[in-house]
Amino acid sequence: MHQYSDFRTFADDTNIFVTAKNRSEAVAKANVVLDSVYQYMQANKLHINMDKCCYMHFKPKSKHNNLSETDTYTTLSINGKEIKEVEETKFLGVIIDNKLTWNAHITALVKKLKCCTGQLNRLRESVPKQLLKDLYHTLFESHLSYGISVWGNIPSTKLTPVATSQKHCIRVLFGDRQAYLEKFETCVRARPTETQILGAEFHKKEHTKPLFNTKEILTTQNLYHYHTLLETYKIIKTHTPVSLYSCFKKSARKETLLITPQPSENFIYNGSSMWNMFRACPEGSEIEDFHVGVSYVKIKIRELLLRRQKQGDQEEWDESNFSIR
């Protein structure tokens, strides 16, 4: 069945990818594959949970393609039981939609991060201050950074809600809480006349750049850079997984540089181009080959990103703080 499909398995989850010129052809091929899967399961006395089975139709982004929505097609089924079509589904904790916009994942992630911020807000007065950073990494950043090398390369406008949630959490944990509470200590009528009108100054939020840099915490954008660079290095160093390692190509001129493939939004292009930019920086130039320990590379990547975060104005963010060029 390799000529029709590509299988990807993890634990008891199985994903089957079928490609074709149009939807009708893809459905026909998929039904042939599913029939073989059902026969295999029956022969080995295994069970398929039909309630968890679903399929998704990915369409080319290009307007000029051979895909026709008017094609006649039948539904996918296993042993006569129809499989439902979905526009989004969760796989290994990441929500994937049929257009790969990551909108559904971002919405769910922001909701989860707000809950984490509420938990940290209730805990912050009950634990020593020196443990707050550990709590942040454990309860907040663990959710934020999960799978970020996959979905993190989205337009900045879509990433804004996630970055805003992170800034809110940083203010809650490390901000000037006393200054914030003093604004609400008395009602408006009890204030002097000139301060009764609550203008922009009252609603102005505390700057987060000093908080990030003082606590040496990476922003959402730099977390994406950190994990993409680190995963790229691990894949090339350990040659695993082989399917990803085979996609990277080392430069014949210099072993520590990678040949950048055709520009795209996939991990291979982003990882290759980002790694070459990192190697051009002072921190990256110290890595002589791919035999250096992973822990050492982690330190150098963090040093670069934290240095970039501190550049420019001490309070206001700018684009150079989120770039490794």
Residue 70 — pLDDT band, cuts 50, 70, 90?
very low
Residue 290: CA count within 13 A, CB half-sphere: 20
Structural domain spans, the chain = 5-86, 103-217, 221-322
User: Residue 201 and residue 107: Cα distance in Å, rounded?
Assistant: 30
Which long-range contacts (C-beta less than 8 Å, at least 24 apart) are formed by 80-87?
81/50, 83/34, 83/50, 83/53, 83/54, 83/55, 84/53, 84/54, 84/55, 85/54, 85/55, 85/56, 85/57, 86/54, 86/55, 86/56, 87/56
Q: Which helix (H) or strand (E) holds 78?
A: strand 77-78
Whether the pLDDT of residue 308 is over 90: the answer is yes
Over residues 42-48, the mean pLDDT reads 90
Task: In whole angstroms, give the CA distance from residue 25 to residue 18.
Answer: 10
Q: What is the predicted pLDDT for the residue at 73?
A: 60
Q: Give mean pLDDT, residues 20-40.
A: 89
Residue 3's pLDDT band (cuts 50, 70, 90): low
Is residue 240 within 8 A of residue 203, CB to CB? The reply is: no
Distance of alpha carbon 21 from alpha carbon 68, whole angstroms: 9
Contacts of 273 (CB under 8 A, 6+ apart): 260
* Per-residue pLDDT tens digits for 146-182: 999 999 998 888 999 999 999 999 999 998 888 777 7
Strand partners, 10: 13
CA angle 155, 21, 19 (to 5 degrees): 70
Per-residue model confidence (pLDDT) at position 227: 96
Most confident of 21-25, 63-67, 91-95, 114-118: 114-118
Least confident of 17-31, 49-63, 131-145, 245-259: 49-63
pLDDT 10s digits, 235-281: 999 999 898 999 999 988 888 899 998 888 889 999 999 999 999 99
Tokens describing residue 194: 């000139």
What's the pLDDT at 72?
55
Nearest to 17 by CA among 295, 26, 287, 25: 26
* pLDDT confidence of residue 216: 94
CA dihedral of residues 117, 204, 225, 266 (deg, nearest 10): 90
